């Protein structure tokens, strides 16, 4: 395409990846371009759309799959889920975060088990495990996770590293049951091939193999003493075996309907079985049995409460039932799953149930409240935790189908991605809070009392369109219309190549008509060479984002783009006005970043323009003045802002502490600190489209608080998503110089420098490090350094919504 010729596409986005008008390509005429396919009907707002919108929860991702199993660890610190997307996931009960996603099977993971403790796993090596991404939790991970698959394989995973420890082969059919003995040293497996096998965890060797004689083995249960194992067969029988001798001890039942599920009571006196014909049988070890009937369809999961007086059952009819075994009646029915339920288990304390369903969710149920607490969705690298009222936690970045955009509230011709509800409903560590002691749950509920429940309905956010863009020379005039659909118009945002356009540049006209308020906004934006992607969203008064509208304009050719400059501002504060706040490594860290980027990037950047502020010169005023100097940086350049010093999270705001601040008390920080809102305002006015914010912060005592890092996570997520930039921050507790002498830097900055030196170069291993590669590396490498040097640094909080670009070459 010759210089000066442009192409424009008019795109309306509905939900996850659905495109309208994709083929409406037109050539730009000098001075004017009209977007094809835009008609008055697109902008029309009918009175019936002002009704309260009551959506349904939907998952739109090829990376999701039916959930097949879920289990708690022996100590109650962890639980695992697994399913047909090929992964097994480890979740922390303390924080509610997904800690591991391991993948070692060629198809579905059909059954899992987890044992937490010392002495059964190989020594942790640190770093990224073979199976998937690792993270570091508040509690120390030790033990093993065992997964069985439709491919007949069993994999033993090291909890600390996520690495595959052993692969157990021998079954010729799908693995249908997995059990770990109470000491975590043996694995018992059952398979559709009709065999039961016992394996040594330490070395992966087969200890014993039994021919069940039951046809396919459908389920296993281990007695609390670990001496006997029960197996359920396709032929309807339930048999009891000696684990040490391998001989059959008893045939509990024979019938025509297959037994699909088994559970042993904690006292070892009762065994329950679920059957294909919808019946549940409870067997007394001393003799006798009873039959429970209420299910419509097969019973696929059974579980005794820790006290042994209640039994939970699930199956194809999608209902969770809790039985009183004294009265042999259903005490509680809980609905919510949209398809059949494959498994159910109590937590060790007996206050919660975990279920896994074909509807692509695992769900946690609160028995005291008799309701669903949260639903869990596992994608490939991404995950989500969503409560019935709409609050959520999960993956904000990554591929469109591998983050929160893939989870949607849909219906009545509309589809709203979950992260469009970020400002009001995003709650980092949500599940951890919900699984906390009851007092914390009650306090959480009280604090959320004013938050509307999504499923009860909400007024629609505005309808946004981009009409008749006009291109002249190197500028485009965007004509934007935001029409109220009942929820009001609070704010309209324009993004150019993912970076927010300064809101003050728009000329706005508000009109009142028969169909409600309409805002017409005009932006004149300078184009860059290559592709210019414009995306517009509008927020309702409830801070819910509209479905976006997008336009793509091509200016010249991308190949003609000149090498960018890097504009680097570093701020480091070791010496504060209050000596009690003094630090050791903030200034060396800032100077280390400056030195590396100045000497090592001649091939990446045409020039490195530097600004540096240290110690007494790093006042609020000086920092703001230096950032303001970056407003005029051209769009094709890169701006990197690095800050090392004290930081503090307060509510939805995060504050960097300048030199003059005397203390870290709330009012002082709010009055004199530099808030994330201030950073947002600055970033919006910076002309560069590639902007990076890096914070290496120290917050005294923060590491002692289980949820301290998650305050940072929310404020940084709001900042990154609203501005379209890359952000990484790591908060450290009370600093000890001796912990970091070997590195010469704080762990966060050291990880950044090591990544830029080449360690962050991942596939396709092209001898250059992109910003997304660097941030991904830092997320994994900092926890490894934390363990190695026993520092109090927290897992970095990374939000990456900006343009990707090369930051270093080897």
Q: Distance between CA 65 and CA 715 in Å, rounded? A: 31
What's the pLDDT tens digit per position in 171-185? 999 999 999 999 999
- For residue 332, pLDDT over 50 is answered with yes
What's the pLDDT tens digit per position in 527-552? 988 889 999 999 999 999 999 999 99
Collapsing DSSP to helix, strand or coil, 109 comes out as strand
CB environment 114-133: b (16+ within 10 A), e (fewer): bbbbeebbeebebebbebbb
- In the chain the first and final C-alpha atoms are separated, in Å, by 33
Q: What is the mean pLDDT of residues 467-473?
A: 82
Q: 């003045």: which residue's tokens?
A: 625
Tell me the pLDDT of the chain averaged across its residues: 85
pLDDT of residue 744: 79
Cα dihedral 721, 725, 726, 732 sign: negative
pLDDT of residue 584: 85
Residue 504 DSSP label = G
pTM: 0.84
- For residue 576, pLDDT over 70 is answered with yes
- For residue 325, pLDDT over 80 is answered with yes
What's the pLDDT tens digit per position in 741-780? 677 788 888 999 999 999 999 877 888 899 999 998 998 8
- Of 208-212, 248-252, 450-454, the one with minimum mean pLDDT is 450-454
Query: Which tokens sit at 555?
Result: 């200016």
Domains of the chain and any CATH numbers = 7-48+459-560 (2.60.40.10), 53-61+397-458 (no CATH), 65-210 (2.130.10.10), 212-375 (2.130.10.10), 566-809 (3.40.50.1460)
State the Cα angle at 137 between 135 and 139, rounded to 5°: 145
């Amino acid at each position: 395409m010759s210089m000066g010729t442009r192409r424009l596409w008019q795109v309306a986005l509905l939900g996850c990846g659905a495109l309208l008008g994709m083929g409406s390509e037109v050539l730009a005429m000098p001075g004017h371009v009209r977007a094809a396919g835009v008609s008055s009907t697109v902008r029309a707002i009918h009175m019936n759309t002002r009704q309260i919108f009551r959506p349904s929860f939907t998952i739109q991702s090829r990376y999701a799959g039916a959930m097949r199993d879920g289990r708690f660890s022996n100590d109650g610190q962890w639980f695992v889920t697994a399913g047909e997307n090929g992964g097994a996931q480890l979740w922390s009960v303390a924080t509610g975060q997904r800690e591991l996603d391991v993948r070692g099977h060629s198809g579905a993971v059909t059954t899992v088990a987890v044992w937490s403790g010392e002495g059964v796993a190989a020594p942790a090596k640190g770093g990224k495990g073979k199976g998937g991404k690792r993270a570091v939790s508040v509690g120390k991970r030790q033990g093993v996770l065992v997964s069985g698959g439709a491919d007949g394989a069993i994999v033993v995973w090291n909890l600390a590293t996520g690495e595959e420890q052993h692969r157990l082969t021998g079954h010729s059919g799908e693995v249908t049951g997995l059990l770990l003995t109470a000491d975590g040293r043996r694995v018992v497996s059952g398979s559709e091939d009709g065999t039961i096998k016992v394996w040594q965890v330490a070395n992966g060797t087969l200890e014993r193999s039994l021919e069940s004689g039951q046809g396919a083995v459908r389920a296993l249960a281990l007695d609390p003493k670990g001496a006997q194992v029960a197996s359920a067969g396709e032929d309807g029988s339930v048999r009891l075996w000696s684990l040490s001798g391998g001989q059959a001890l008893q045939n509990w039942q024979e019938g025509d309907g297959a037994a699909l599920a088994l559970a042993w009571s904690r006292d070892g006196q009762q065994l329950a079985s679920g059957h294909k014909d919808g019946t549940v049988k409870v067997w007394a070890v001393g003799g006798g049995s009873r039959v429970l009937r209420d299910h419509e369809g097969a019973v696929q999961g059974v579980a005794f409460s820790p006290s042994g007086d209640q039994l939970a059952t699930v199956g194809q009819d999608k209902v969770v039932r809790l039985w009183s075994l004294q009265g042999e009646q259903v005490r509680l029915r809980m609905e919510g799953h949209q398809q059949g339920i494959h498994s159910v288990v109590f937590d060790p304390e007996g206050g919660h149930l975990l279920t896994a369903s074909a509807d692509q969710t695992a769900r946690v149920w609160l028995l005291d409240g008799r309701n669903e607490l949260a639903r869990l969705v596992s994608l490939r690298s991404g995950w989500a935790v969503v409560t019935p009222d709409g609050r959520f936690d999960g993956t904000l970045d990554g591929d469109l189908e591998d983050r929160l955009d893939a989870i949607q509230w849909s219906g009545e011709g509309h589809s709203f991605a979950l992260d469009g509800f970020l400002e009001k409903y995003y709650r980092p560590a949500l599940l951890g809070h919900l699984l906390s002691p009851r007092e914390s749950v009650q306090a959480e509920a009280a604090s959320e009392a004013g938050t509307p429940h999504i499923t009860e309905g909400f007024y629609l956010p505005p309808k946004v369109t981009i009409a008749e863009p006009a291109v002249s020379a190197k500028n485009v005039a965007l004509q934007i219309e935001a029409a109220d659909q009942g929820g009001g118009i609070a704010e309209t945002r324009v993004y150019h190549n993912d970076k927010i356009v300064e809101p003050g540049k728009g000329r706005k006209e508000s009109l009142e008509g028969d169909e409600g308020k309409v805002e017409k906004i005009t932006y004149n934006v300078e184009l860059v060479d290559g592709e210019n992607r414009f995306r517009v969203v509008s927020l309702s008064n409830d801070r819910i984002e509209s479905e976006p509208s997008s336009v793509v304009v091509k200016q010249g050719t991308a190949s003609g783009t000149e090498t960018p400059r890097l504009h680097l501002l570093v701020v480091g504060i070791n010496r504060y006005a209050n000596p009690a706040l003094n630090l050791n490594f903030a200034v060396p860290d800032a100077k280390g970043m400056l030195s590396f980027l100045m000497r090592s990037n001649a091939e990446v950047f045409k020039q490195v323009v530097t600004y540096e502020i240290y110690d007494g010169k790093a006042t609020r005023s000086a920092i703001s003045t230096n950032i303001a100097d970056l407003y005029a940086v051209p769009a094709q350049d890169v701006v990197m802002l690095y800050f090392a010093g004290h930081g503090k999270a307060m509510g939805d705001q995060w504050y960097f502490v300048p030199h003059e601040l005397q203390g870290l008390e709330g009012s002082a920080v709010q009055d004199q600190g530099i808030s994330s809102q201030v950073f947002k305002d600055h970033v919006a006015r910076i002309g560069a489209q590639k902007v990076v914010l890096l914070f290496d912060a120290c917050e005294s005592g923060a590491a002692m608080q289980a949820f301290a890092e998650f305050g940072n996570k929310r404020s940084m997520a709001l900042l990154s998503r609203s501005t379209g930039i890359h952000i990484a921050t790591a908060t450290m507790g009370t600093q000890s110089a001796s912990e970091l002498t070997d590195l010469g830097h704080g762990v966060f900055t050291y990880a950044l420098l090591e990544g830029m030196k080449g360690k962050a170069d991942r596939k396709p291993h092209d001898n250059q490090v992109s910003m997304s590669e660097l941030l991904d590396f830092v997320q994994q490498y900092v926890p490894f350094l934390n363990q190695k040097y026993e520092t109090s640094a927290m897992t970095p909080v990374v939000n990456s919504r900006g343009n990707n670009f090369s930051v270093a070459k080897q």
